[in-house]
């Protein structure tokens, strides 16, 4: 039997790695698309179609909406913090609480926001 000789091991390892990389990648793409839908329905008016804080309603808001494409935004925040501020809102600012989002919606939404991280 030559099929499982030592020579073919690197090939098998490479195949396993490829499958391992491709599958989570596919799952993540689906989550991002779902997250984008939630974003467009709930956040876009203020945070902008490109998530850069320049939505149609942004000009009249003080403080201005957060820019998710900015390095300084992400420098001081992690996933858990972003998730909790979406749920609770930011008192004293136009950033309202979004308590109606399901855990899955919130998960997908935050994945979408993180995909804007530069």
Q: Give the residues lining the site for ligand HEC (CB under 6 A).
A: 42-43, 45-47, 57, 61, 63, 65-66, 77, 82, 85-86, 90, 93-95, 98, 109
Residue 65 class from Cβ within 10 Å (0-12 exposed, 13-18 middle, 19+ buried)? buried
Q: Decide whether 28 or 90 has the Cβ nearer to ligand HEC.
A: 90
Residue matched to tokens 């997250």: 35
CB-nearer residue toward ligand HEC: 50 or 93: 93
Q: Give whichever of 61 and 111 is closer to ligand HEC, judged by the CB atom.
A: 61
CB-based contacts of 117: which residues, under 8 Å, 6+ apart? Answer: 68, 69, 74
CB of 18 to ligand HEC, least distance (A): 34
Q: Are 78 and 48 in contact (CB under 8 A)?
A: no
Q: How far is the CB of 103 from ligand HEC (least distance, A)?
A: 14
Residues 6 or more apart whose Cβ sits within 8 Å of residue 50? 69
Q: Closest separation between CB of residue 7 and ligand HEC, Å?
A: 52
Residue 1 or 59: the one with the smaller Cβ distance to ligand HEC is 59
Cβ 58 vs Cβ 48: under 8 Å: yes
Q: Min. distance of Cβ 116 from ligand HEC in angstroms?
A: 11
């Amino acid at each position: 039997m030559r099929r499982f000789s030592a020579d073919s091991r690197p090939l098998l390892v490479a195949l396993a790695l490829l499958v391992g990389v491709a599958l989570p990648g596919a799952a993540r793409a689906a989550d991002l698309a779902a997250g984008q839908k939630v974003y467009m329905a709930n956040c876009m008016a203020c945070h902008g179609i490109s998530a850069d804080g320049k939505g149609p309603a942004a000009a009249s808001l003080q403080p201005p909406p957060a820019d998710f494409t900015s390095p300084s935004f992400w420098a001081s925040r992690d996933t858990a913090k972003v998730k909790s501020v979406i749920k609770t809102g930011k008192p004293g600012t136009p950033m309202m609480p979004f308590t109606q989002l399901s855990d899955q919606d919130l998960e997908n939404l935050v994945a979408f926001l993180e995909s804007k991280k530069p």
